[in-house]
Amino acid sequence: SDLQKQAERGELLQPLIFVLLGLCSVLLYLKVSLMDPGFVKPEEEAGKSEEQSIVIPQVPSDIKMRRCGYCLVKQPMRAKHCQECQHCVRRYDHHCPWLENCVGEKNHPLFIAYLSVQLVVLLWGGHVAWSGLYFEQSWDWLKHNIFLLVSFLLIVVFTTVVLLLLISQLYLISCNTTTWEFMSHHRISYLRHSELEHPFDQGVILNLWRFFC
Q: Give catalytic residue positions.
A: 96
Q: Report d(CA 39, CA 92) in Å as an integer.
A: 9
What is the CB neighbour count within 10 angstroms for residue 29? 17
8 Å CB contact between 181 and 191: yes
Please report the DSSP string for 76-115 in residue order: PTT-EEETTTTEEETT--EEETTTTEEE-TTTHHHHHHHH
What residue type is 89 in one-letter code?
A: V
| Element spanning 62, H or E | none
